[in-house]
Amino acid sequence: MTSVAESAAGRTGAGGTVVDGARREDIVGGAGGAGLAFRLERAGLGYGRDAVLREVELEVAPGEVLVVVGASGSGKSTLLRALAGLLPPSEGRILAGGREVTGPSADRAMVFQDDGLLPWRSVRRNVELPLRIRGVARSERGRAAQEWIEKVGLAGFARHLPRELSGGMRQRVQLARALVGAPRAVLMDEPFGALDAQTRAEMQRLLLEVLRETSATVVFVTHDVEEALLLADRVAVLGRTGVRAVLDVPVGDEARTNLRERILEEL
Ligand SMILES: Nc1ncnc2c1ncn2[C@@H]1O[C@H](COP(=O)(O)OP(=O)(O)OP(=O)(O)O)[C@@H](O)[C@H]1O
């Protein structure tokens, strides 16, 4: 098992508490609670009797961006679903903030490739949804939603319906909806996979920008190694039945080139 990366060293996990000397936290404005730590202990994940991942040992540090790569069918989405509490492990345990994951929680927001927006609700009402579910007062919901709509570059589109937006804009709405409730973790499943190259690059930049304002832990699934290198503090590579390697993303072009080759070898 690979231990938690140096880049995240000093952030302690249980209970999601201290942020100390960490890269992203150094520059965050402090919105939301501290990032959530995840820990998988000999976790077996699968569907019915079919195991997809066996004996997974993995730690995700509070506030880090862990990108999961792997061949199609290696279990990237399965791992993410398990972290979200949508798929109980068949063996072992999954802990979030030191507590066993037994189901979904508002602390852990998800963003999917398919936008998952409610088509009959306006942008604002989609973004407000997590706050509405939590019973946040209408005026506060409206204020927070508007703030996030502006942060993701959609000022002026609050009253639009999802079908009136481009794919990239809909992903912006998803991002706003995921972050409006200040979750402690954001679990993203190929969120930019269906976008053209230029929109995808814009969304990657936007994601890096908005993450600076939160201390949320991010687990991001992609099959794109370049995207992984751009976004990650660490990259987890999934192989046939488990985590093959968890690698720190270094600073510097040459070191990244070496890492790219290493990841491609592991895939
Ligand atoms: N709901 C399900 N029921 C049964 N088997 C499933 C289910 N979802 C996924 N699987 C199987 O689990 C394995 C892993 O699927 P998963 O979607 O996690 O892989 P992935 O790495 O995310 O793939 P991709 O990159 O193609 O999205 C595959 O063999 C898939 O067929």
Q: Is 147 helix (H, G, I), strand (E, B) or coil?
A: helix
75 lines ligand 1 (CB under 6 A): yes
6-107+184-266 has which fold?
A: Rossmann fold (3.40.50)
Q: What is the pLDDT of residue 265?
A: 87
Residue 8 has pLDDT above 90, yes or no: no
Ligand 1 atom with least separation from CA of 190:
27
ipTM score above 0.90: yes
206 lines ligand 1 (CB under 6 A): no
Residue ranges covered by each domain of the chain: 6-107+184-266, 117-182
Q: What is the pLDDT of residue 112?
A: 84
Supply angle C-alpha 245, 247, 249, rounded to 5.
160
Q: What is the pLDDT of residue 266?
A: 85
pLDDT in tens, 100-156: 999 999 899 999 888 689 999 999 999 999 999 889 999 999 999 999 999 999 999
**Lowest mean per-residue pLDDT among 2-16, 118-132, 133-147, 238-252:** 2-16
Give me ligand 1 centre to Cα 155, in Å: 37
Other Cβ atoms closer than 10 A to 129: 18
pLDDT in tens, 203-222: 899 999 888 888 999 999 99
Residues 6+ apart with CB under 8 A from 265: none
78 lines ligand 1 (CB under 6 A): yes
Residue 15 has pLDDT above 80, yes or no: no
45 lines ligand 1 (CB under 6 A): no
Residue 162 has pLDDT above 50, yes or no: yes
